[in-house]
Amino acid sequence: MTSTAADMGEESPLLNRRPTSSESQINNSKLYLAVFAAVLGNFSFGYSLVYSSPVLPKLQSPDADPRLRMDTEQAAWFGSIYTLGAAAGGLGAMLLNDLIGRKLSIMVSAMPSTIGYMLMGGAVDVWMLQLGRFLTGVAGGMTAASIPVYISEISHKAVRGALGSCPQITAVVGALALYSLGLVVPWRWLAVAGEVPAVLMVVLLVFMPRSPRRLLSQGREQQAEKALRWLRGKHYDIQIELSAIQHSISTQSKVTLSQLATPVYYRPILISVVMRFLQQMTGITPILVYLEPIFSKSKVSLEPRYDAAIVGAVRLFSVAVAASLMDRAGRRALLFTSSLLMFLSSLTLTMISHTTPCPPGPAPPNLTVSLDYSPQNYTENILYVGHQTSTNLIPLISTMVFIFGYAMGWGPITWLLMSEVLPLVARGVASGLCVTVSWLTAFMLTHAFTHLVDSYGLYVPYLGFTVVCVLCLLFTAVCIPETRGRSLEEIENYFRTGRTFTIKRSQSTVQSS
């Protein structure tokens, strides 16, 4: 089956020539510095997302300031309004990404973040806490839509997979920092500490280059060449990469509504949107936001705040594993593994929560102090206590497995694939759309979670998460292509042809895969 050269994205001979050894001498040190500066925004995102986990128990306790004490409805809003702000931030990023560029969009996010933390740190009424939480959500939505795109556009394909997982890793580090500080720092000072990474991010990004793709799309060739040379090092021949980027841009045009109905546009956008929807429907956001209250209801034998810190450490380990395997095992293999682990753990949590009543049950027999020290009675008591201890650890272990599975695949890979498969001409708007859909889903699920747990216990939401994990397995098998080792231009060509990643130079050499 043949196709025209235009349909196949005809490429210049330079793009099909293998680089020489001198051309392959890439110095990634400055690229890593630029990525580090950008992902500080994801550190703030991870920190602010789980801020409610250690704070809500204090604000709902009888010892809380009467002006700040929250009932169930207020607590549900405090936990979920962050995701509503993130949806608004995603909408803002849809405009800012194409209006002022990726780098400046990331820098602008520091403003609502800093104001939000100031409001929460100095709150004297509940509305200040809610508004501050909303503003930090706006900042999180902006960074979630802008940082993955910026990283994918400044990275080369050899390290794009590993660097594409950095936003998720730093978000996890931010969450672990919050859990750890929550063990020793009062909740108001947690808000003050949250301002530091946002300010540091702005200071560092001032010295980082803009996206070469963005600059070329604006016709600023010299600045694009300077930015790419800064990112790759002075011993790397950037002309081949510049030619590839320029060719990709030159074949793009303004997207019309009729063009959106063609596979080259609607397929990658639909895949990205559905992935972000399923990612949230797994229940990851309510689990992270309400981690300490969940462990309290699960009757885990350890203190909930220590459980949260342990889960945060496991989450960090799992995303580090995912980063090391991203360009080795491939995206699809990690997504399959991730879906399976989440399914098994959520199914276990469903069964445990279904057999464990939320209110405390009657005192078990033989657990009270007895004067009968016979060997038989002593053995029965020890066996019962041992059984209770092991049972109480199952929710913690299952949650750790769930977080491990999510952070290995559906956490980082959804961000990476979004930045890889979205068409260049619509990448800014489409990434904002994906983030908006993601956070609107998270808002509805997080707000409903508290009420579902109060009415039915943890069984009903866990059962829903189990079903979604099955859908994740099916969606990965049917819809998601393997993008490991592919350039952004090759990925675009896959959706253009619907058959192959390979960019052919003439129609006579086109082969169907």
What are the DSSP calls for 209-235, one per residue?
Answer: PPPHHHHHHTT-HHHHHHHHHHHH-TT
Residue 7 has pLDDT above 50, yes or no: no
- Asked if 191 and 178 count as a contact pair (C-beta separation under 8 A), the reply is no
11 touches 247 (CB < 8 A): yes
DSSP symbol at 194: T
Does 486 have pLDDT greater than 90? no
The whole-number pLDDT of residue 20 equals 46
Cα–Cα distance list, 143 to 42, 97, 170, 243, 289 (Å): 7, 11, 12, 29, 19
Residues 174 and 234: their CA atoms lie apart, in Å, by 34
In this prediction, residue 15 carries a pLDDT of 41
Tokens found for residue 249: 């841009």
Structure tokens at 180: 């750890």
Residue 355: predicted pLDDT: 63
Residue 411 is predicted with a pLDDT of 81
Pick from 118-127, 277-286, 391-400: least confident: 391-400
Structure confidence at residue 440 (pLDDT): 87
Report pLDDT digits (tens) over 238-293.
Answer: 788 888 888 777 776 666 666 666 777 778 888 889 998 999 999 988 888 887 77
Cα torsion through 452, 454, 456, 460, rounded to 10: 40
In 173-325 the beta strands, taken as DSSP E runs, fall at: none
Q: How far is CA 469 from CA 179, 293, 475, in A?
A: 27, 23, 10
For 32-49, how does the pLDDT look when each residue is reduced to its tens digit (9 = 90+)?
999 999 999 999 999 998
The pLDDT > 70 percentage for the chain reads: 79
Q: When comparing pLDDT for 423 and 471, which is higher?
A: 471
User: Does position 474 have pLDDT exceeding 90, yes or no?
Assistant: yes
> Looking at residue 95, what is its pLDDT?
80
Reported for 108-111, long-range contacts at CB under 8 A and 24+ positions apart, including other chains, are 108/142, 109/41, 109/138, 109/139, 109/140, 109/142, 109/143, 109/146, 109/198, 110/41, 110/139, 110/198, 110/199, 110/201, 110/202, 111/139
CA atoms in the 13 A half-sphere facing the CB of 289: 26
The mean pLDDT value for 8-34 works out to: 59
Confidence band for 395, pLDDT divided at 50, 70 and 90? confident
What is the pLDDT, as a whole number, of residue 9?
Answer: 39
Q: Band of the pLDDT at 16, cuts 50, 70, 90? A: very low
* Res 356: pLDDT: 53
> 62 to each of 57, 68, 295, 443, how far by Cα in Å?
10, 11, 20, 27
Higher-pLDDT residue of 446, 388: 446
Q: What is residue 428's predicted lDDT score, i.e. its pLDDT?
A: 63
C-alpha 282/C-alpha 438 separation (Å) is 12
The single-letter DSSP state of residue 370 is -
DSSP secondary structure code for residue 252 in this structure: -
What's the pLDDT score for residue 300?
65
Q: Please write the tens of the pLDDT for every residue from 330-368.
A: 788 889 999 999 999 999 989 888 765 444 444 444 433
Between 79-88, 136-145, 332-341, 360-369, the lowest mean confidence (pLDDT) is in 360-369
Mean pLDDT, all residues of the chain: 78
Which of these, 434, 420, 431, lies nearest to 490 by C-alpha position? 420
Lowest mean pLDDT among 216-220, 239-243, 374-378, 477-481: 374-378
Confidence class of residue 2 from pLDDT cuts 50, 70 and 90?
A: very low
Burial 228-259 (b: 16+ CB within 10 A, else e): bbbbbeeebbbebbbebbbbbbebeeeeeeee
pLDDT, position 133: 94
User: 356: how many CB neighbours lie within 10 A of its CB?
Assistant: 18
- Model confidence over 403-448: pLDDT tens digits? 888 878 888 788 778 777 887 677 667 776 787 788 889 888 988 8
Q: Is 329 helix (H, G, I), strand (E, B) or coil?
A: coil
- Write down how long the chain is: 513
Q: Give the integer Cα–Cα distance in Å for 276 and 438.
A: 5
Q: Name the residue among 305, 40, 338, 34 with its Cα closest to residue 171.
A: 40
Choose between 298 and 391: higher pLDDT: 298
pLDDT given for residue 387 in this prediction = 43
Helices 488-497, 263-281: axis angle to 10 degrees equals 110
Contact 209/230 with Cβ under 8 angstroms?
Answer: yes
**Residue recorded with tokens 């011993």:** 235
